[in-house]
Amino acid sequence: DAKTTQPTSMDCAEGRAANLPCNHSTISGNEYVYWYRQIHSQGPQYIIHGLKNNETNEMASLIITEDRKSSTLILPHATLRDTAVYYCIVRVPVQGAQKLVFGQGTRLTINP
């Protein structure tokens, strides 16, 4: 799986958009970008994933650059409950089970 690089920590004001970057310059053509987050004392939670087109769901938007070497997770209107560690993971999805390889992630703090 391709290696990812994320900032260690970020701050964002409540109500503003939180933009979390992820670099994955060695991504290969068949690898997808996944985002999970882990709120304190809870298990990780899936947020979104994509291959090359921008994706949006009820939680967030995922913007992937045209060369696919980086992406940005956008929380459009951050709330205090969005304070968590956010993990960017790059992998090739396969049929059947597949482990997730977590890096250190970005600790996002939403400030009132």
Partner 1 sequence: GAGVSQSPSNKVTEKGKDVELRCDPISGHTALYWYRQSLGQGLEFLIYFQGNSAPDKSGLPSDRFSAERTGGSVSTLTIQRTQQEDSAVYLCASSLSGHGNEQFFGPGTRLTVL
Task: List interacting residues with partner 1 (CB under 8 A).
Answer: 32, 34, 38, 42-46, 49, 87, 93-105
Between CA 98 and CA 88 the distance in angstroms is 16
- Evaluate whether 61 touches 47 at the Cβ level (below 8 Å): no
Q: Closest distance between partner 1 and the C-beta of residue 99, in Å? A: 4
Residue 94 CA to its chain's centroid (Å): 20
Q: Closest distance between partner 1 and the C-beta of residue 44, in Å? A: 5
Closest residue by Cα to residue 64 from 96, 33, 26:
33
Q: Which residue number, 95 or 112, has a Cβ lying nearer to partner 1?
A: 95
Q: Which residue number, 18 or 34, has a Cβ lying nearer to partner 1?
A: 34
- Evaluate whether 100 touches 80 at the Cβ level (below 8 Å): no
Q: Closest distance between partner 1 and the C-beta of residue 20, in Å? A: 16
Q: Which residue number, 46 or 76, has a Cβ lying nearer to partner 1?
A: 46
